[in-house]
Amino acid sequence: MMINLLIEKIKNKEIRICVIGLGYVGLPLLKIATEKGFNTIGLDTDIEKVKKAIKEEVKATTNLNESLNDSDCFIICVPTPIDENHRPDLRFVESATQAVSKYLKKDSIVILESTVAPGTTEEIIVPLLNKSGLEAGKDIYVAQCPERIDPGNKKWNVRNIPRVIGGIDEESAVVARMLYENIIEAEIVKMNSTRAAEAVKIVENTFRDVNIAFINELAKSFDKINIDIFEVIKGASTKPFGFMPHLPGCGVGGHCIAIDPYYLIEKAEKSGFNHNFLKLAREINNSMPEYTIKKIIEGLNEVGKCIKNSKLALLGLAYKGGVGDTRESPAFPILNKLEKLGANIRIFDPYVLDKSTVKSLDEALNKSDFIVIVTDHPEFKKITAEKLKNNGIMAVIDGRNILDKERIKKMNIIYKGIGR
């Protein structure tokens, strides 16, 4: 088909879009594409995700044929995790691509939203698609449009976050951009290649990882010289340009920041470059749970206690405040170490009740002598020094620096923050 005809079909919403992967990226995309008038269907291997999508009034299925057959456009939004050796794991992307390649027809559009190393679309996705007998760049259009969802963000969402796209050729880029311009209400910026679009996403998140590592290392250093890093960040933030505040904490979790740098590190290694700096940043961020344990030991020692048999509340399992996602959360290495050291632990996370061992914050507090804050949930930010005193809490290890240090210390409760 002439590209103009395809563009007309897109503008007239005459194509069927199949979104593969209905997690925190795919489901919002499926919903907004449906809202914009496209004929859509969602595909996921997890029946619970399909049920959730149907409850949100979009068509979804676990059935490959029902979803992939008769679709003109396939948008792949499946996870790209790392394995236990921090090696990228493309299993989900490869199986989704293999499934799609069985249903391709002339002028199909395939777009990858999953975060991958630069070069993945060209070197892995295209060869898998070409196995269909149709040729990417000749018979089908292929592009990369990295997802930019920030779970829990009240301001930025799939509708208003600008996107970048890159095509394996100019026509693929034009088609993909036209498609997203008819779904997303924000700017769609065309890069010169899929490789550049893949790199944009990795760079965005690696930028964040190294900046967090920078402030985490400063926190360790300032702990030694009795400087409150928070006060310094606040001071540095008065500079109206050239400084971007990041916060120290008990660790960097989640399926983006803690993962994406490894995709670039491995890709670069294969191409003969060693990302010393990115690896060091990952090492520093991965050291923060251990550093938090050190602060717990220090805090308990100041009241003549040790971790063994101490009654301790671990507040938070999620990787960041306001969400229930526990992937790569620093809570688990901290919890494992505390259990190894024989602590008597109560776990509470209002967003992860199925893994909590007590039913409320009050129960966690009144059954404990010490608290460790791991997640900056809004509920935990409201914990007052008075509440701690009334519950007989002797020491607070504030892994997210969210409590009122001075007020807590005034109540003769030991306070240990990360860098404060």
Residues with catalytic roles? 256
* 256 belongs to the binding site for ligand SAJ (CB under 6 A): yes
Tokens of 399: 């892994």
* Candidates 15-23, 73-81, 96-104, 246-254; binding stretch for ligand SAJ (CB under 6 A): 246-254
- Residue 60's nearest CA partner among 70, 76, 48 is 48
- Ramachandran quadrant class, 374 (left: phi over 0; alpha: psi -120 to 50; beta: rest): alpha
Residue (153 or 271) nearer to ligand SAJ, CB? 153
* Candidates 191-199, 201-209, 271-279, 334-342; binding stretch for ligand SAJ (CB under 6 A): 201-209
* 320 belongs to the binding site for ligand SAJ (CB under 6 A): yes
Closest contact distance (angstroms) between CB of 246 and ligand SAJ is 4
Q: Which helix (H) or strand (E) holds 51?
A: helix 47-55
Report the distance separating Cα 61 and Cα 57, nearest Å. Answer: 12
Report the distance separating Cα 224 and Cα 136, nearest Å. Answer: 57
Residue (204 or 228) nearer to ligand SAJ, CB? 204
Residue (177 or 400) nearer to ligand SAJ, CB? 400
Among 14, 150, 302, 386, binds ligand SAJ (CB under 6 A): 150
Report the distance separating Cα 72 and Cα 248, nearest Å. Answer: 46
Residue (157 or 366) nearer to ligand SAJ, CB? 157
Closest contact distance (angstroms) between CB of 253 and ligand SAJ is 4
86: how many CB neighbours lie within 10 A of its CB? 16
Closest contact distance (angstroms) between CB of 358 and ligand SAJ is 23
Among 33, 77, 129, 247, binds ligand SAJ (CB under 6 A): 247
DSSP character for 210?
H
Residue (179 or 210) nearer to ligand SAJ, CB? 210
Among 44, 72, 107, 147, binds ligand SAJ (CB under 6 A): 147
* 151 belongs to the binding site for ligand SAJ (CB under 6 A): yes
DSSP character for 314?
E
* 252 belongs to the binding site for ligand SAJ (CB under 6 A): yes
Which string of x and - marks every residue 205-224 that binds ligand SAJ (by CB under 6 A)? Answer: x--x---x------------
Cα 209–Cα 210–Cα 213 angle in degrees, nearest 5: 90
* 257 belongs to the binding site for ligand SAJ (CB under 6 A): yes
Among 254, 261, 289, 399, binds ligand SAJ (CB under 6 A): 254
Report the distance separating Cα 55 and Cα 133, nearest Å. Answer: 38
Residue (44 or 147) nearer to ligand SAJ, CB? 147
Closest contact distance (angstroms) between CB of 39 and ligand SAJ is 27
Which stretches does DSSP call E strand in 153-193?
A: 163-167, 188-190
Q: Is the dihedral of CA 187, 192, 197, 202 positive or negative?
A: negative
142: how many CB neighbours lie within 10 A of its CB? 28
Report the distance separating Cα 165 and Cα 146, nearest Å. Answer: 7
Return the residue nearest ligand SAJ (CB atom).
Answer: 254
Closest contact distance (angstroms) between CB of 282 and ligand SAJ is 12
Residue (155 or 239) nearer to ligand SAJ, CB? 155
* 319 belongs to the binding site for ligand SAJ (CB under 6 A): yes
Which stretches does DSSP call E strand in 32-89?
A: 39-43, 60-61, 73-76
Q: How many chain residues interact with ligand SAJ (CB under 6 A)? A: 20
Closest contact distance (angstroms) between CB of 252 and ligand SAJ is 4
DSSP character for 121?
I
* 202 belongs to the binding site for ligand SAJ (CB under 6 A): no
Report the distance separating Cα 254 and Cα 329, nearest Å. Answer: 6
Q: What are the CA-CA distances from residue 88 to residues 78, 83, 97, 116, 247 (Å)?
A: 14, 6, 17, 8, 27
Tokens of 6: 């395809």
Residues that bind ligand SAJ (CB under 6 A): 147-151, 153, 204-205, 208, 212, 246-247, 249, 252-254, 256-257, 319-320
